Structure 1
Amino acid sequence: MRTYLLDKYLKKYMRMSERELSHQFRSNLWFTPVLYVFFSLLLLCTAFFGDFNYDLGDRFRSYFAVDYDLTRTLVSTLTAGILSLTIFTFNLVLVVFTTFSGQFSPRMLKNFIASKATQRVLGIFTGSFVYVLLSFLFLNKRITEYYFAVPLVATFLAMFSMGAFIFFINHAVAWLQVNEMTDDMKKEALGIVQSTMKNELDQYKVEDFNDTDAHIRQGKGTPIQAGRPGYIQLVDFITMIQEAQKDDIVIKLEYTIGCYVFETTPLLTYWNKHGNNLDEDKYLEFFSIRKKQTEVQDIEFSINKLVEVAIRALGNYDPKTATTAIYQVGEVLVSISQITDFSHYLVDDKNNLRIILQEIDFNHYLYHGLGYIRHYAKDNVIVSTDILKVLDLMAKSLNPRDYEAVWDFAIHTAQGFENLFLFEQDSQQFYSALRNLATTTDNLINYDKFLKK
């Protein structure tokens, strides 16, 4: 039974790609502490080797050496102290985060856990505890009466743990500030945009390609079912293009990253002009389908974290937090507009079409980023005015091709207030923001038509 569970656990990680493994290591609490425990074991072996083999206690007896009884008392006290410090620290943090998760987003806890500062502090606590615990276990009066390296290192680790405790409290307090929290989520989303949309796919996206097999794709392709239910977490586009080039086929992805599929859902369709046998299971291996969504390639899921913060803030009557999150979403949308050309064709190195993606334009990301917030802020003219201001700020940096999508979104937002009573100042601010956006996107004529209605 134990061997079966171990094999199952190892196979789970062996099937993961390099990016998935990296994400797993960064988002789990156990990896970094294990490294620190390993270093603490090396430190422990070095300290005992020095005391047992070189009699460091006898050499420094007049100055720094500590006898066996005092060393044992010191190490036993530090063992209980460091363990209590670790438990107290993270129990306090979990209590605080339970409150914040209910107020903002339950997914913010994962961001905090994945931060390097959090994992390193836990690693320091765990490594220090393992050192003093094993030191207490291996102390031996019959081998040497006086110790030098063991109590000295234990004292140093205790002081280091106390410093880490102070640093961690300061880190937690700083990270829990709304600006820091949303900024961390924004950086995560920008990283996904840069790695997935630009670095990975841009070199294969084209508008013009050798489409000599268009007549083949007019016929019915061969679908491949997903084979297992779950969310599409990651797709290995590069290897899929290479294999499609070898097999000389064209593939159409029926669903995009972040979608939920059933076991019998047609995941992709391919056209094989040669009609030879194709290893369909090979192409399923390029998809990572799991029980939950992750931020490895799913930009919408990462944006949704900021959206949740804004929506929860509106429900808690905290418009300032909502506005902060809206501006962060706007920055991510600007990055998407600047980086990608939204082409859904991927070609090989010979400019032959190999993969057809789902047709997704800027309007899709705009709606998923600000559309949900607009819905929950439909009776809040102040927050809606802030949305128009963010759209105007975005438009100054967007690709001009996306002006129409931004203007249409703003008009639909304004139409939601046609039948609502607005104070004069609210009306002035709202329509002033809309006019500024019309000026930026060159839609003053449409703005005048809208006012006449």
Structure 2
Amino acid sequence: MSERELSHTVQSNMWFTPVLYVLFSSLLVIATLTSDLKYDLGNQMRPFFAVDYDLTRDLVGTLTAAILTLTTFTFNLILVVFTTFSGQFSPRMLKNFIASKSTQRVLGIFTSSFIYMLLSFLFLNKRLAEYYFAVPVLAALIAALSMGTFIFFINHAVAWLQVNQMTYDMKNEALSIMKSTLEEEVDPYKVNDLSTLNSKICKEKGFTITAGKSGFIQLVDFISIINEAERDDIVIQLEYTIGSYVFASTPFITYWKKGENEVDEHKYLTLISIGRRQTEVQDIEFSINKLVEVAIRSLGNYDPKTATNAIYQLGEVLASISRGSIFSKYLVDKNNNLRVILQERDFNHYLYNAFGSIRHYAKDNVIVCTELLKVLDLMAKSLNKRDYNAVWEFGVFTASGFENLFLFALDYQQFYRALQNLAVTTKHEKEYEEFLERSKK
């Protein structure tokens, strides 16, 4: 498992952070019991803050049961949140709530508090100390911390369930994946002008490598593949992209070699992770699909405002992809030799992946489609100019078929004004006039 996979797995699991907190609470138990039992801190503080054995035992025992009840109620609240998200929005977003640092820290505090109370209660001994100070004082402070944490968690759950915050977090996740995968990891090795390459694309039939196991392509170590291909002096073509599902017998790598040197095919398989589910580590389309599913579910629940909010967040992600990505499928090494050929992914692909399904499910909703045209216009104002045609063509595709669906004159006015603004932004005024003439016939 690579460092990025390990980090993602740890972050998306509920057990890691609570375990760290439990270890810390165990150290606190050792420290407080040592202070009271070995160094007799209770007797030293007796005139002021010392607590006798009976009161200490009653206090710690009561807090043990109370914190266990509070922890159980918190877990129940998490299950309620999960059920709400699964039914109303998307089950894919449950991992986002689990991976939230606030959620994991809350569970860590509750779990470690219960363990501290339990261990302290277990090792209290009247024969070793008649009076205690560190154990009851710290128990009271931990109980106060747990109560404050519970109030914080209720506020966190309520805030996280708000649609605006939820879609905003998913948008930031997609932008983070785009920056780490596209801009920082892959784009530095891309080249657009094939005439500058020292290698020619091989036309003859190459050697194939099968996947070896079924599953989703989760992670590709592009940099290591380029380095290994340079070392073996070969050109590699990846037949599938991240997020694709492959069978064990699927030929998903093709390579060409210049000489008769032997190529260790297994090492290239180790540089590509295949698993049972899709992950967000490198798969920006998977993060985009979360927002798409929120929009579609909202349309089905007659909640156009939530759908519109998700559409605007998608628009910002697409604008960032257009500005920051190099849409080339050719990766080169440091000597400008062609080493890796990817699957074709241009702005059209991401645009359709984000808005195609929404357009389909909103085909009878003039208001939502008008908002979609407004988002396209807003995107176009910050897009790379090379993508103007793609946005305009999608806008025309969205506008087609609405001639008989306008209930009021205002629907018609708002809809075609949004399309006209898009035409002006993308420099397609003439095409807009032609489309308008065709729609009147």
Q: Give TM class, smaller chain.
A: over 0.9
Q: 2:254 aligns with which of 253, 269, 273?
A: 269
Does 2:393 match 1:408? yes
2:273 alignment partner AA: S
Residues 110-149 of structure 1 mapped to structure 2, 5 A cutoff: 110-149=95-134
In 2, distance between residues paired with 1:349 and 1:302? 31
**Which runs of 5 or more residues in structure 1 are unaligned?**
1-15
Does 2:339 match 1:391? no
In 1, distance between residues paired with 2:402 and 2:216? 37
With normalisation by structure 1, the TM-score equals 0.95
1:308 alignment partner AA: E
- Does the Cα contact within 8 Å between 2:235 and 2:340 map onto a contact in 1? yes
Q: Could you tell me which residue of structure 2 aligns to residue 183 of structure 1?
A: 168
Q: 2:228 aligns with which of 225, 234, 243?
A: 243
1:228 alignment partner AA: K
In 2, distance between residues paired with 1:100 and 1:257? 26
3-state SS of the aligned residue for 2:140?
A: helix
In 1, distance between residues paired with 2:259 and 2:126? 80
With normalisation by structure 2, the TM-score equals 0.97
1:116 alignment partner AA: K
Does 2:138 match 1:153? yes
Does 2:348 match 1:363? yes
In 2, distance between residues paired with 1:186 and 1:103? 19
Question: How many residue pairs are counted as aligned between the two chains?
Answer: 437
Alpha-carbon offset, residue 443 of structure 1: 0.2
In 1, distance between residues paired with 2:435 and 2:262? 59
1:239 alignment partner AA: S
- Does the Cα contact within 8 Å between 2:53 and 2:132 map onto a contact in 1? yes
Alpha-carbon offset, residue 402 of structure 1: 0.4
Q: Could you tell me which residue of structure 2 aligns to residue 173 of structure 1?
A: 158
Does 2:20 match 1:20? no
3-state SS of the aligned residue for 2:345?
A: coil
Q: Could you tell me which residue of structure 2 aligns to residue 214 of structure 1?
A: 200
Alpha-carbon offset, residue 421 of structure 1: 4.8
Moved more, 101-110 or 333-342: 101-110
Q: Could you tell me which residue of structure 1 aligns to residue 308 of structure 2?
A: 323
Does 2:429 match 1:444? yes
**Which runs of 5 or more residues in structure 2 are unaligned?**
none
Alpha-carbon offset, residue 64 of structure 1: 1.1
Q: Deviations over 1:280-314 (max 9, x none)?
A: 01000011100000100000000000011100000
1:84 alignment partner AA: T
3-state SS of the aligned residue for 2:126?
A: coil
Does 2:14 match 1:29? yes
Point out 4+ residue stretches in structure 1 off by more than 3 angstroms: 208-213, 418-422
1:280 alignment partner AA: E
3-state SS of the aligned residue for 2:353?
A: helix
Q: Could you tell me which residue of structure 2 aligns to residue 284 of structure 1?
A: 269
- Does the Cα contact within 8 Å between 2:217 and 2:274 map onto a contact in 1? yes
Does 2:186 match 1:201? yes
Alpha-carbon offset, residue 97 of structure 1: 2.9
Residues 89-128 of structure 1 mapped to structure 2, 5 A cutoff: 89-128=74-113
3-state SS of the aligned residue for 2:219?
A: strand
- Does the Cα contact within 8 Å between 2:199 and 2:337 map onto a contact in 1? no
Alpha-carbon offset, residue 79 of structure 1: 0.9
Does 2:213 match 1:224? no
3-state SS of the aligned residue for 1:214?
A: coil
Alpha-carbon offset, residue 231 of structure 1: 0.4
- Does the Cα contact within 8 Å between 2:36 and 2:134 map onto a contact in 1? yes
2:200 alignment partner AA: A
Q: Deviations over 1:325-349 (max 9, x none)?
A: 0000000001100110111111111
Q: 1:308 aligns with which of 281, 286, 293?
A: 293
In 1, distance between residues paired with 2:406 and 2:173? 40
1:97 alignment partner AA: F
Q: 1:254 aligns with which of 231, 239, 258?
A: 239
In 2, distance between residues paired with 1:211 and 1:394? 34
1:214 alignment partner AA: K
1:143 alignment partner AA: L
2:419 alignment partner AA: L
Alpha-carbon offset, residue 100 of structure 1: 2.9
1:270 alignment partner AA: Y
Does 2:407 match 1:417? no
- Does the Cα contact within 8 Å between 2:200 and 2:338 map onto a contact in 1? no
3-state SS of the aligned residue for 2:189?
A: coil
2:206 alignment partner AA: G
3-state SS of the aligned residue for 2:91?
A: coil
Q: 2:42 aligns with which of 57, 76, 80?
A: 57
Alpha-carbon offset, residue 72 of structure 1: 1.1
3-state SS of the aligned residue for 2:33?
A: helix
Alpha-carbon offset, residue 416 of structure 1: 2.8
Q: Deviations over 1:86-134 (max 9, x none)?
A: 1101202311330232111112221111111111111100111111111
- RMSD of Structure 2 on Structure 1 (CA): 1.1
Moved more, 47-56 or 375-384: 47-56
Alpha-carbon offset, residue 360 of structure 1: 0.7
